[in-house]
A = this chain, B = another copy of it.
Amino acid sequence: MKNPIADLNKIFDSRIRLGVMSMLIVNHEISFNDLKQMLELTDGNLASHLNTLEQAQFIAVHKGFIGRKTSTTYSITDLGKQAFKAHLDALEKMINKL
């Protein structure tokens, strides 16, 4: 038998990063503020998790405006999509022995 957790991606151990990714898979683009409210996080906490995901190049940041107000939005990258799907596959494999 094989180590069932070896293929899980460490970046997605965090529920918050998992939540961000799952939201970005569904919604093409989401603002900082929406993520914050949806996941019920403080600014600093969200920012640091987004940073981790950006470092890994799993998400991309877009600085823009709504009217003249700044609005930062985030989207998933191809690499991020790949990694997330691989993680979900690993989870499934681990669990589908049920």
Interface of A toward B, CB cutoff 8 Å: 1, 3-6, 8, 10, 13-16, 18-19, 22-23, 25-26, 38-40, 88, 91, 94-95, 97-98
- A4 contacts B38, C-beta separation under 8 Å: yes
Q: Measured between C-beta atoms, what is the minimum distance from A71 to chain B in Å? A: 18
Decide: A97 and B4 in contact? CB cutoff 8 A: no
Cα(A1)–Cα(B3), bound, Å: 36
**Contact B40–A97 (Cβ < 8 Å):** no
Contact status A97-B19, CB under 8 Å: no
The chain B residue sitting closest to A91, CB to CB, is B91
Which residues of chain B are within 8 angstroms of A91 by Cβ–Cβ distance? 91
Q: Which of B3, B6, B16, B18 contacts A94 (CB 8 A)?
A: B18
CB closest residue in chain B, given A12: B15
